[in-house]
Amino acid sequence: MGVTQIQKLKIEFLEYLEIEKGRSLKTIENYDRYLTRFISHSKISAPSHITETRVREFRLHLNRQPGVSSTMKHKTQNYYLIALRAFLKFLRKRDVESLNPERIELAKVGARDLDLITAAELERLMSGPKGDSLQALRDRAILELLFSTGLRVSELCGLPRDLDLSRDEFSVRGKGDKVRVVFLSPAAKTAIKEYEKKRGDVDDALFVQMGKNAKNTKDLRLTPRSVERLVKHYAVKGGITRKVTPHVIRHSFATDLLENGADLRSVQALLGHQNISTTQVYTHVTDKHLREVHKTFHGKRRK
């Protein structure tokens, strides 16, 4: 069986995402998977076959898939619907007859729970790497840098060795190829310098593997998975019972700023969030101040 019209258009859509929209290869892979599953389940061969009925049947199919809480989570279901909606918008742009993208409503999801650790737990985590061995210096530099900048783990792993530390800031290329500026705390700057001073390798990555892992690979650059294991190791060492990941340190970075009076827009820029709605998961932090505001300013004229 040859390539159908819908499959051809799907390939054009994925190329459009890559070339014109500059989306990451990971995003394109995901969109491909979501759309392929919809096309396969709906048994469609042309864009005109995409109907509300077929979308509803696909949603029922997704809803009945086993997931975390016996069915596939609404948040995961929405990934499929977002991809389908983007595809339909692309078709409309090309004047291809299909379903109106506005007809697809996303499933309602509950407020996102943030994995947070207390200030005391954060302190125990940060002071985990002891001594002045190369590994301890590297791990201290990683933890200090994560908390100082709020970097995503993939951004941290991609950092080059020739990072300019003469200024207290540097640029990083994040999601969607967007560049933002992040800032170094004195502690992070010192930790990176001490780690760099002791390094004997010539690899051009800022953070590299060590020990037996380094012997088994030509590419010494530390992987996100290795950084996750490293953070988990120091969390356990610090007696923190909840799950701690590099992303939890990113949350700590954001909440620390907000608790000390930073505004949401600035935190959005520092985190590299495209939409303020993503940053709004942190409003619970600013909400804490509302009690104090109410107590300080409300009802003062009444006897």
Q: Which residues contact 294 (CB under 8 A, 6 or more apart)?
A: none
DSSP states along 3-56: --HHHHHHHHHHHHHHHTS---HHHHHHHHHHHHHHHHHHT--SGGG--HHHHH
Residue 149's Cβ-count burial label (10 Å; 0-12, 13-18, 19+) is buried
Active-site residue, 282 included = yes
Annotated catalytic residue, options 175, 232, 233, 237: 175
Catalytic residue among 85, 140, 152, 189: 152
The active-site residue out of 34, 195, 234, 282 is: 282
Closest C-alpha among 27, 110, 75, 105 to residue 281 = 110
Catalytic residue status for 289: no
> Could you give the maximum distance between any two Cα atoms of the chain, in Å?
84
Name, in order, each residue with C-beta under 8 angstroms of 246's C-beta and a sequence gap of 6 or more.
146, 152, 153, 156, 224, 227, 228, 231
Torsion region of 22: left, alpha or beta (phi above 0 gives left; psi -120 to 50 gives alpha):
left
Catalytic residue among 180, 232, 247, 284: 247
* Structural contact between residues 6 and 49, judged by C-beta atoms closer than 8 angstroms: yes
175 a catalytic residue: yes
Could you say which of 10, 189, 250, 251 is catalytic? 250
Is 49 catalytic? The answer is no
Q: Quick one: tokens of 5?
A: 């019209």
- The residues, any chain, with a CB within 8 Å of residue 169's CB and separated by 6 or more, are 181, 182, 183, 184
Instruction: Select from 238, 251, 287, 248 the least CA-distant residue to 120.
Output: 238
- Angle subtended at Cα 193 by Cα 192 and Cα 197, rounded to the nearest 5 degrees: 120
Q: Identity (one letter) of the amino acid at 225?
A: R
Is 233 among the residues known to form the active site? Answer: no
Distance (Å) of CA 174 to CA 145, 156, 269 = 16, 10, 12
Q: So which residues are the catalytic ones?
A: 152, 175, 247, 250, 273, 282
